[in-house]
């Protein structure tokens, strides 16, 4: 089963943050309000909730997208 429209938009927004790309302020505000990202100076970082949501949605979509720090944690 594929992702819903809402799930697809959320995953795309989270991945946009991960890869440091620009995104519309409305989507950015939604991610901050929902607790998926936090402001870190001029940058944005995924929160623990955001990381969990990214992993959940990637699993549902059949994707394996990880930060390099996540790969190190798994191999320990």
pLDDT in tens, 9-66: 999 999 999 999 999 999 999 999 999 999 999 899 999 999 999 999 999 998 888 7
CB distance 14 to 54 below 8 Å: yes
Under DSSP, the state recorded for 64 is -
How many domains are contained in the chain? 1
Give pLDDT, residue 71.
Answer: 60
CA distance 63 to 41: 30
| Domain housing 13 | 5-75
Please list the alpha-helical segments (H only) found in the chain. Answer: 5-18, 25-33, 48-61, 68-75
Displacement of CA 46 from its chain's centroid (Å): 6
Q: Give the model's confidence band at 76: pLDDT under 50 very low, under 70 low, under 90 confident, else very high.
A: very low
Give pLDDT, residue 13.
Answer: 95
CA distance 51 to 18: 10
pLDDT in tens, 40-50: 998 999 999 99
How much is the pTM? 0.81
């Amino acid at each position: 089963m594929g992702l819903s429209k809402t799930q697809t938009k959320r995953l795309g927004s989270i991945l946009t943050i991960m890869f440091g790309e620009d995104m519309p302020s409305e989507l950015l505000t939604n991610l901050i309000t929902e607790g998926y990202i936090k402001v870190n100076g001029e940058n944005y970082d995924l929160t623990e909730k955001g990381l969990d949501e990214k992993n959940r949605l990637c699993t549902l979509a059949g994707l394996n997208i990880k930060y390099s720090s996540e790969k190190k944690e798994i191999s320990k």
